[in-house]
Amino acid sequence: MLLAVKAGQKHLGSQTDFQKLDNYYLRHRLSNSNLMSWRQENKKGSLQDNPVSASDGDMMIAQALLEADKVWPGHGYKAQAFKLISDIKKLESNRSAKIITVGNWANKKSHFYNVMRTSDVMPEAFEEFYQATGDHSWIEIKSQMLTYLQQLSSQHKTGLVPDFAWISRQKQASPAKANDVATKDDGNYSTNACRVPMLLAASNDKEANNIVKKMLKFFKQKEEISSGFTLSGKPLYPYKSASFSAPIFVAASKYQNEGYGTLVEHEKYIFSRPLPANNYYDATLIVLAALNTNELTGLEK
C-alpha cells in the first residue's frame, strides 16, 4: 500500500491499484480490531489469517492511508487511518516503556511486552500520526524509542543495532540474545534492523540523523555489505542482499554531500538487475528505496 500511494504521488500508479490493496487489508483485519493479520496462508485452496498482528506492517498501512487521503481525497482513507492509528496505540503499545510492541500478541500478559523491534522505530510515521490526530503521545513514543535506539547504537563503535532489544524497567535497552524472539540473529544487525537506515533517514529528527550517520560511517569502511553483521561488525553471511543494500543506499543518498557518495555508488548495483521474482522482501525494499531516494534528494535514481 505504501508503494502504491508513493507511485500515485508521481502519477505512476492509480487509485484503483491502491483500492485493491486496501480491500485486501480490509478483508484480512483481525477480529474486533483494525489491525491486520500479519500473514495469510493458503490451506486447502483458501486463505486463512494468522490470528496476530505485526506492528511495523500496521504502521505502514496507516501511513499509506493518510497519504492516500491527500493523493485521492474523498474515499474515506483518512477515517480508516484514524481507526487504525487508534488501535495501534491501544493494542500495540507499551505505555510505561513508551514503545510500540512487536504485535498485539505481545501484551501485558506476555513475556514479550518489553521487547522492541528496531525496525518499529519509525520517526516519520510517529510525526505523521501526531500531525493527523493531534495526539502528543506519538511524539513521546518517537522520542523514547529514539532514545532506546541511541542507547543500542552507543554500545558498539559500529553503531549497529540488533533486530530486537529488551527494555528494562529502568528504561535501558539491551540487545536480545539468539532465539529470544524469532531467530538465531535476534541480537544481530539482521533482517529487521536492515531497514533502520532508511526509516531514520526519512525523518529530519536530529537524533535519528546522528544514529544513522554513525552506521553509515561503519558501512563506508566495508568493501562489501554482507547480509547481516554482528554488532561488533563481523559479517554473518558471505553474500550480499538487496534488503540490506537498499536501505543503506537511501540513507547514503540523503547524506552523499557529507562524504557518502562512494557508498551510494557502491550500493546502486541493486537497480542494475531485474527485480527478484522469488524474494518479495528484496523486491519491495528495492522499489521503496527508489521512491524514497527521489523524495529525500529530489533526484531521479
Among all residues, which ones are annotated catalytic?
A: 56
Q: Residue 127 to residues 47, 138, 199, 205: CA-CA distances in angstroms?
A: 35, 7, 12, 10
193-213 core/surface letters (b: 16 or more CB in 10 A; e: else): bbbbbbbbbbbebebbbebbb
Strand pairing report for 173-175 and 93-94: unpaired
| CB proximity list for 161: less than 8 A, separation 6 or greater | 118, 149, 152, 153, 175, 189, 193, 196, 211, 215, 231
* Bridge partners, 41 (sequence order): 48
| CB proximity list for 276: less than 8 A, separation 6 or greater | 242, 282, 283
- H helix intervals, the chain: 2-9, 15-27, 55-71, 77-91, 123-133, 137-153, 196-201, 206-220, 242-254, 261-267, 280-297
Distance between CA atoms of 175 and 186, rounded to whole angstroms?
A: 8
Side by side, the strands of the sheet bearing 115-117 are 115-117, 164-167, 173-175
Cα four-point dihedral sign 277, 278, 280, 282: negative
Please check whether residue 189 is in contact with residue 230, taking contact to mean a CB–CB distance below 8 angstroms: yes
At residue 174, the 3 state secondary structure works out as strand
